[in-house]
């Protein structure tokens, strides 16, 4: 039987007792308001800033291992973060909870159990990402770490080497050893459990509720037009939405998206959004907390979500 690293055991244990990820709301990539999820009326440009130089508030509700979330982060958001002056115009909040389900822990009412749409591996990558968002100070380094994880999280085998992937990403963006250790400790902490509960509440408070991820809210508003435009280019969207004087020099000049050929107007086609629908979720969490996923006969695959089940599992592996 495969023996896993202590870190992998701890992370898997932490996931089952409900330790996922949260976002550092005190740093530049942070929430500055509660998303209402209301639908905009008409324009896809949301200008509700009290002051002209107020930054655009972009919230990305997502989950690891969702192909659509990965695509949005590694393309639209990645391109934006390469542009000088992007964060002078916008505050970005990454909220890695998505279509997860939360339930009070069976053994300790102070903890919460979480079940993720794509299985335990998704929860583990979520905890690594959120702890990084919480512990890394530089907003650009936060994104670089998330982008790196998203480029390396396709494997859904629960027994993969998460520590190696996280460490490689940390090395790639030159994180110091202290921060790396803080991320590891956060991944198995009660603090992370409580913070992730707050993120679950934030996600479930969207009105109307989200039906898929990635799900984008701008200045408290979600609409199909906003979702499509940010999928195409969050940088271009922020450029046309931000009304302040700190606009990036990389922002495109105002142009129309339509061209005319032989007297006929032709509008640029926009690509379809790739999302993970909430309706694709597994059976109701509260009715299946103690069930083990039988899709894989390998005894090393964990699908149970209760603390007791995982403790027994861990004892067998040790």
Do residues 129 and 97 touch, judged by C-beta distance below 8 A? no
- The reply to whether 109 falls in a domain is yes
One digit per residue, the tens of pLDDT, for the chain of length 318 reads 333 344 455 445 444 444 333 334 334 334 333 334 444 333 455 554 457 779 999 999 999 999 999 999 999 999 999 999 999 999 999 999 889 888 887 665 568 888 889 998 888 888 888 888 999 999 999 999 999 999 999 999 988 998 899 999 999 999 999 999 988 888 777 777 777 777 788 888 999 999 999 999 999 999 999 999 999 999 999 999 999 999 999 999 876 444 433 443 444 555 567 889 986 444 444 444 433 333 333 322 232 233 223 333 433 433
Distance CA 65, CA 159 (A): 15
| CATH number assigned to the domain comprising residue 288 | 3.40.30.10
**Can you tell me the distance from the alpha carbon of 236 to that of 149, in angstroms, rounded to the nearest whole number?**
25
pLDDT of residue 183: 87
pTM of the predicted protein model: 0.72
Backbone angles phi, psi at 192, to 5 degrees: -65, -35
Looking at the domain assignment, is residue 218 inside a domain? yes
Residue 251's CB is within 10 A of a number of other CB atoms, namely: 17
- The verdict on residue 295 lying in a domain is yes
Q: What DSSP letter does each residue of the chain carry, written as one string?
A: -PPPPHHHHHHHHHHHTT------TTSSS---S----BPPSS-S-----SSTTPPEEEEEEE-TT-HHHHHIIIIIIHHHHTSTTHHHHEEEEEEETTT-EEEE-SS-TTSEEEE-TT-HHHHHHHHHHHHHHHH---HHHHHHHHHHHHTT-----TTS-HHHHHHHHHHHTT--HHHHHHHHHHHT-HHHHHHHHHHHHHHHT-SSPP-EESEEEETTB--HHHHHHHHHHHHHHHHHH--SS---TTSPPP--SEEEETTEEEEPPPPPPP-EEGGG--S-GGGSTT----S---TT-----SHHHHHHHHHHH-
**Domain extent for 219:** 6-243+258-303
Does 252 fall in a domain?
no
Q: C-alpha 30: how far from its chain's center?
A: 13
- Structure confidence at residue 257 (pLDDT): 47
In-domain check, residue 41: yes
**The two structure tokens encoding residue 235:** 């940088």
Indicate whether 309 belongs to any domain: no
For residue 316, being part of any structural domain is answered with no
d(Cα 283, Cα 256) in Å, to the nearest integer? 46
Report the alpha-carbon distance of residue 16 to residue 1 in Å, rounded: 21
Would strands 264-267 and 112-115 be described as parallel, antiparallel, or unpaired?
unpaired
Q: Which residue has the tokens 């964060």?
A: 87
Domain count, the chain: 1
In-domain check, residue 95? yes
Alpha-carbon span 278 to 114, nearest angstrom:
15
Largest CA distance in the chain: 74
């Amino acid at each position: 039987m495969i023996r896993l690293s202590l870190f992998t055991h701890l992370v898997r244990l932490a996931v089952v007792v409900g330790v996922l990820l949260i976002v550092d709301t005190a740093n530049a990539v942070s929430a500055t308001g509660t998303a209402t999820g209301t639908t905009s009326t008409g324009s896809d440009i949301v200008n509700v800033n009290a002051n002209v130089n107020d930054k655009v508030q972009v919230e990305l509700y997502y989950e690891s291992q969702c192909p659509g979330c990965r695509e949005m982060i590694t393309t639209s958001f990645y391109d934006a973060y390469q542009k000088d002056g992007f964060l002078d115009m916008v505050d970005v909040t990454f909220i890695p909870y998505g279509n997860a389900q939360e339930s009070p822990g069976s053994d300790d009412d102070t903890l919460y159990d979480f079940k993720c749409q794509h299985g335990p591996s998704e929860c583990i990558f979520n905890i690594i990402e959120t702890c990084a968002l919480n512990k890394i100070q530089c907003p650009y380094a936060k994104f670089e770490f998330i982008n790196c994880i998203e480029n390396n999280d396709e494997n859904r085998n629960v027994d993969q080497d998460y520590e190696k992937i996280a460490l490689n990403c940390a090395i790639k963006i030159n994180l110091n050893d202290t921060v790396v250790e803080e991320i590891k400790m956060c991944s198995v902490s009660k603090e992370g459990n409580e913070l992730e509960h707050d993120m679950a509440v934030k996600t479930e408070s969207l009105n109307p509720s989200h039906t898929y991820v990635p799900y984008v809210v701008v200045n408290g508003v979600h609409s199909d037009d906003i979702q499509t435009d940010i999928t195409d280019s969050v940088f271009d969207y922020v450029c046309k939405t931000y009304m302040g004087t700190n606009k990036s020099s990389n922002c495109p000049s105002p142009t129309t998206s339509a061209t005319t050929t032989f007297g006929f107007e032709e509008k640029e086609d926009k690509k379809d959004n790739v999302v993970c629908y909430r309706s694709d979720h597994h059976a109701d969490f509260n009715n299946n907390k103690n069930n083990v996923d039988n899709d894989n006969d390998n005894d090393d695959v964990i699908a149970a979500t209760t603390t007791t089940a995982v403790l027994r599992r861990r004892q067998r592996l040790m």
